[in-house]
A and B are shown apart, each in its own frame.
Chain A
Amino acid sequence: MRQRAIWSAVLVVGLALAGCGSASDSGKSTSSDGKLVVWDWKSGEPFAKSYLDKAKADFKKKHADVEVEFVAQPFDQYYTLLGAAIQSGKGPDVMMFNGGGQIRDRVDALVPITDYVAEDKQRLAGWEAFTKDSKVYGSPVTLQGYPIYYNKDIYQKAGLDPASPATTWDKFVADCAAVAKAGSKCFALGNKEGVGIQFWLSSMGSVTLTAAEYDAWITGKRDWTSPNVKRVFETWKETGDKKMNTDGANSTAMFNDSFAAFQSGKAAHVMGLMSDVGHWKAFNEFLTPEKLGVMKPPVVTAGTTPSLPYDGGIGYAVAKWTKDPKVAADLVRSLTSADALKAFYADAGAIAADTTIDVSQAGPAASTIVSELKSGKPALHVALSSKTIDLMGRLSQQLLSGSITVDEVVKQLAASDQAG
């Protein structure tokens, strides 16, 4: 009898605790009047604090009665989680996206904000990555591009002129041999996730494909039989064959191991980023601004003109299920306001979508990148489907290890690309 009473008590207490302890305000993440919930993967970062404070202050001026809650989600699971929210039709009012395929694949769950953000069109760059069928679904916060950074110190040690990096592929390969002789590697490469090839394709695209081929690639008319397309993958293979990359590239994570190799002076070059990691600010910290250079990709195909590949990086979009899209769009506008983006550039080091921000104090590398934006072109890999990008990642590893030919790689990629 006594034991029965104890068991009953345990059950009752347990269930009562579960009930009482149930998270308050269930379904909080769904939109409700007087509150907007934002999902992203940046708001938990210390460097985003000032950016968010500015954005919140700007929004407060327009909607003092609306509370904003930011929920920083782990990036690894972000799109899985978003998928579950979209399927259940309940989720945040405003959400962060990477530009390109990630947002375009999910526009059915978003509100077109073309009219709401019309005023910001001129001030911000990178809209294309957040646009589908001429409708804008997100406002860009940063630009994401793939400049080639180099270490001037290593150049000097190798007897090269740090002010004049190679402008042709053959000269570049020769410079890399000099770098190797001086005891460093030419490229810091991490291709464990197969991401290295994406940077390579986009960085080397403008100097390998003709201007017509480049434009056709972006518009979806990709000629995989072109010798120039094949050449991009041949140069990738060449870096492996000639041991230009840091050791064990296929087992090295790009984030953050390959960047650490460059920062710590183990390699002369890295194909880096413009966002908040693997960028000028992080490199400046270790190499100092004077020793950090940004170079144009060396010309592989005669007659081509090097250009910086970049697109919209990250941005915010409005969910279809939000109660008042206008208010949510206003929050997106605050998150891309000039003051907020200035803070994001200053603290995170990301090149913001607002190209009017003065970067002259950031050192020569940042100034060079911003000066190249005008002649920049969309990145080649962003135009590919995520399925083809995954395949390219796997094939690039096989190319580096020598277990597949360039012809076979191009053939498989063409089939995947044409399948859609």
Chain B
Amino acid sequence: MRRARLGWWLLAIPMSLLALATIYPLLFTANVALKTRREYILDRFSLTDSLNWANISTAWTSAGMGRYFVNSLVVVTLSVLLLLLLGSMAGFALSQLRFRGSSALFLGCLAGLFIPFQVVMVPLARIMADTALIDTYPGLILVYVAQFLPFTVFLMTSYYRGIPPEIVDAARIDGNTVYGVYRRIMLPLGTPALLSVGILNTLFCWNDVLMALVMMPSAENRTLMIGVTSLRGQYSDNIPTFASGVLIAAIPVLLVYLFLQRQIADGVAAGSTKG
């Protein structure tokens, strides 16, 4: 009994510290967001006395966050849908269909994981400008899909490799076409991995600054994260307003995490074991 209690404490203390370390930055940001500039400069770590909600509305209006929120929502939703569609199709083909060059194709996809955006940024901006895709939703969506597809293909292929090929064979014997197998068998079976990849891609796209900044140069087409970073100039010292912007931008991501945390955990574990 005593040993069990000791074990509980040994687990609870480090876990509590870990939880605190994770949640503290969020609480700190929320506290700063509700301070006046003066309060922040005099003591940033103290609890706010003023509960200065005006910072939130200033951040919302001066950064034009309403419009940027819609931009982010449209771009991220369509990008993630396209990523899931293409990623799951490629994952199914590369893991279950036997054709010449599939391994080379898979390695080719993986190579994309090692190309940072900064390397391709300038030529890409030029291509986008030449094809009139710069400063458009489709332009940014294409860039997101290109950037995050290798990761999606990698995860979906790994997941589908855990599914016995006999299932595919049986479905083909039953008269399904390749598309039929994908749609009726693989897509439903891949739901946990799709959820996980979808959530991760949502976070990647939602939090991106650089790609959106380069591809959306005009003010009205920006995404939410650019709106937040614009709240901070070269030397801007209104940190409470900036913290308010950060908080606003983080809320959708937090909600996704809160409601889908079980699926995230399941999805990450899915495909890690066979059978």
- A interface residues, Cβ below 8 angstroms from B: 3-4, 7, 10-11, 14, 17-19, 21-23, 25-30, 37, 41-42, 44-46, 69-77, 80-81, 83-85, 87-91, 98, 255-256, 259-260, 263-264, 273, 275-278, 282, 285-286
Contacts and interface: CB of A to CB of B under 8 A. Distances in A.
Interface residues of B, number: 50
B65 interface: no
B123 to A, nearest CB: 8
A284 to B, nearest CB: 13
B112 interface: no
Contact of B141 (A18, A29, A89): A18
Contacts of A44: 62-63, 230-231, 233
B125 A75 contact: no
A285 B237 CA distance: 13
B82 A255 contact: no
Interface string B94-130: 0000000000000000000000000001100110010
B210 A77 contact: yes
B136 A87 contact: no
A77 B215 CA distance: 13
18 contacts: A3-B183, A10-B81, A11-B85, A18-B141, A19-B138, A25-B218, A28-B217, A76-B229, A77-B210, A81-B217, A84-B121, A87-B122, A87-B126, A88-B122, A88-B126, A264-B41, A275-B235, A286-B42
Contact of B122 (A7, A14, A17, A83): A83
Given A22-B136, A26-B136, A41-B234, A7 B183 contact: yes
A352 B233 CA distance: 18
Interface in B142-193: 183-184
B209 interface: yes
Interface of B: 38, 40-44, 62-63, 74, 78, 81-82, 85, 121-122, 125-126, 129, 132-139, 141, 183-184, 209-210, 213-214, 216-221, 226, 229-237, 239
A343 B136 CA distance: 36
A72 B226 CA distance: 10
Nearest to B228: A74
Contacts of B239: 256
Which 5 residue pairs across A and B have the least CB separation, nearest first? A277-B235, A74-B229, A22-B136, A23-B221, A75-B234
Nearest to A70: B219
A29 B237 contact: no
A373 to B, nearest CB: 21
Contacts of A83: 122
Nearest to A285: B38
A286 B38 CA distance: 8
Contacts of A85: 125, 217
Contact of A72 (B41, B81, B122, B230): B230
B135 A28 contact: yes
A22 B221 CA distance: 9
Nearest to A262: B41
A312 B82 CA distance: 49
Q: Which of B82, B125, B226 has the most CB of A within 10 A?
A: B125
A27 B125 contact: no
Contacts of A4: 183
A23 B62 CA distance: 21
B218 A71 contact: yes
Contacts of A27: 129, 132, 134-135
Nearest to B82: A14
Contact of A42 (B122, B141, B231, B233): B233
A4 B182 CA distance: 12
B137 A29 contact: no
Given A77-B229, A84-B122, A21 B234 contact: no
Contacts of A76: 229, 232
Contact of A263 (B41, B78, B135, B226): B41
Given A26-B134, A26-B136, 16 more contacts: A14-B81, A21-B137, A23-B220, A27-B134, A29-B135, A30-B129, A70-B219, A80-B210, A84-B125, A87-B125, A87-B126, A256-B237, A260-B40, A263-B42, A264-B42, A275-B235
A259 B237 contact: yes
Contacts of A3: 183-184
Contacts of B132: 26-27
Nearest to A49: B62
A23 B232 contact: no
B233 A41 contact: yes
A77 B210 CA distance: 8
A285 to B, nearest CB: 8
B237 A255 contact: yes
Contact of B74 (A21, A74, A256, A264): A21
B210 A88 contact: no
Contact of B137 (A22, A30, A285): A22
Given A73-B230, A77-B213, A80-B210, A286 B41 contact: yes
B75 to A, nearest CB: 9
Given A18-B78, A264-B41, A46 B62 contact: yes
Contacts of B133: 26
Nearest to A275: B235
Contact of B136 (A23, A73, A277): A23
A69 B219 contact: yes
Contacts of B138: 18-19, 22
A22 B74 CA distance: 10
Contact of B214 (A37, A84, A276, A286): A84
A45 B236 contact: yes
Nearest to B183: A3
Contacts of A69: 218-219
Nearest to B131: A26
Contact of B129 (A88, A255, A273): A88
A94 B173 CA distance: 66
Contacts of B218: 23, 25, 28-29, 37, 69, 71
Contact of A276 (B216, B229, B235): B235
Nearest to B220: A23
Nearest to A276: B235
A25 B135 CA distance: 8
